[in-house]
Structure 1
Amino acid sequence: MNRDEAGGNWKQFKGKMKEKWGKLTDDDLTVVEGKRDQLVGKIQERYGYAKDQAEKEVSDWEANNRDYRW
């Protein structure tokens, strides 16, 4: 996969993430930019979740979006 394909995939998954976690802003997702631990932290911050709950949500999302690779 070249850089353009990876960038296009990230844009696609950003949209899916915003569908799932609507409280995440474009700026949040720019910071996350494919980093799983950053995504968990932003979900905790925006939703007030404990780390375990945010981790579970991300794991569940990953299971339903197997095409995405961190």
Structure 2
Amino acid sequence: MIKLDQFLKFIGITSTGGQAKLLILHGEVKVNGILETRRGRKLVDDDQVTIGGQTFKVGEIISRTS
């Protein structure tokens, strides 16, 4: 499990938590196709995060680094 703002930093979309917070609060991030404005949203392996037209599967990203 990883928080949404941490995931955005992890995949390199943002370099700081503050940048991640702004993207999320400005409605630029979707989780499983639904707009998400909670930066602390806990993501699980089956979740998909979409930002800037790119979709990232949480489980695939996390398992690559384990």
Q: Which has the higher helix share?
A: 1
- Shorter chain as normaliser: what TM range? 0.3 to 0.5
The structure showing larger relative contact order (alpha-carbon pairs under 8 Å, at least 6 residues apart) is 2
**Bigger Rg, structure 1 or 2:** 1
Return the TM-score normalized by structure 1: 0.34
